[in-house]
Amino acid sequence: METQVNPLKMTDKLPLFVNKFWRDVWDNKRDGRIVAWCSGAGPFELLKAMDIVVVWPESYGGLCGVEGIGTEQCQRAENVGFSPDLCSVIRSFIGVVDGIPPVDPATLPHGGLPKPDLLVCKPFCPGIYRTWERWSRQFNIPLLVMERPRWHDRLSKEEIAHFTREGIEELKDMADVLGKFTGRSLNYDRLSEILALEREAAKLWWDIIGMCRNVPAPMSVFDAFTHFFPFVYLRATQEAVTYYRELKAEVADRVANKIGALAGEEKYRLYWDNLPVYFKIKEHRQKFASFGAIPVVGNCLYYIGFFPDEDSGNPLETMFELLFYHPSNRGLKGRIDFITKQIEGYSLDGLVMQRTRTCLAVNMGQDDIAEALVGKTGLPAVVVEGDLCDERLYSSAEFNKKIDGFMEVLGQEGQNRRSVSGKSMA
Compute the distance between CA of residue 202 and CA of residue 235 in angstroms, rounded to an integer.
Answer: 9
Per-domain residue ranges of the chain: 10-152, 192-413
Main-chain phi, psi angles of 177, to 5 degrees: -65, -45
Taking CA 273 as the corner, what is the angle to CA 269 and CA 276, rounded to the nearest 5 degrees?
Answer: 100
Integer angstrom CA distances of residue 406 from 224, 280, 410, 415: 23, 19, 6, 12
CATH number of 192-413: 3.40.50.11900
State the burial class of residue 383 (Cβ atoms within 10 Å of its Cβ: 0-12, 13-18, 19+). Answer: middle
Element (H, E) at 351: strand 350-356
Q: In the chain, what is the straight-line distance between the N-terminal and C-terminal CA atoms, in Å?
A: 33
pTM for the structure as a whole: 0.91
Q: How many CA atoms lie within 13 A of 35 on its CB side?
A: 19
* Among candidate residues 361, 355, 343, the one with its CA nearest the CA of residue 295: 343
Helix-helix angle 188-210:238-256, to 10 degrees: 20
CATH topology of domain 10-152: Rossmann fold (3.40.50)
Query: Hey, what amino acid is at 147?
Result: E
Taking CA 52 as the corner, what is the angle to CA 70 and CA 167, rounded to the nearest 5 degrees?
Answer: 90
Tens place of pLDDT for every residue, the chain, 426 residues?
455 788 999 999 999 988 999 999 999 999 999 999 998 878 899 999 999 999 999 999 999 999 999 999 999 999 999 999 999 999 999 999 999 998 999 999 999 999 999 999 988 777 888 899 999 999 999 999 988 777 888 888 899 899 899 999 999 999 999 999 999 999 999 999 999 999 999 999 999 999 999 999 999 999 999 998 888 888 889 999 999 999 999 999 999 999 999 998 999 999 999 889 999 999 999 999 999 999 999 988 888 777 777 777 899 999 988 888 877 788 889 889 989 999 999 999 999 999 988 887 777 788 899 999 999 999 999 999 999 999 999 999 999 999 999 999 999 876 444 433 333 333
What are all long-range contacts of 136-144, with beta carbons under 8 Å and residues at least 24 apart?
Answer: 138/98, 139/115, 141/116, 141/117, 142/118, 142/177, 142/181, 143/119, 144/118, 144/119, 144/120, 144/174, 144/177, 144/178
Compute the distance between CA of residue 369 and CA of residue 372 in angstroms, rounded to an integer.
Answer: 5
Q: Do domains 10-152 and 192-413 have the same CATH topology?
A: yes
Compute the distance between CA of residue 36 and CA of residue 202 in angstroms, rounded to an integer.
Answer: 23
Integer angstrom CA distances of residue 426 from 205, 255, 256, 299: 13, 7, 9, 20
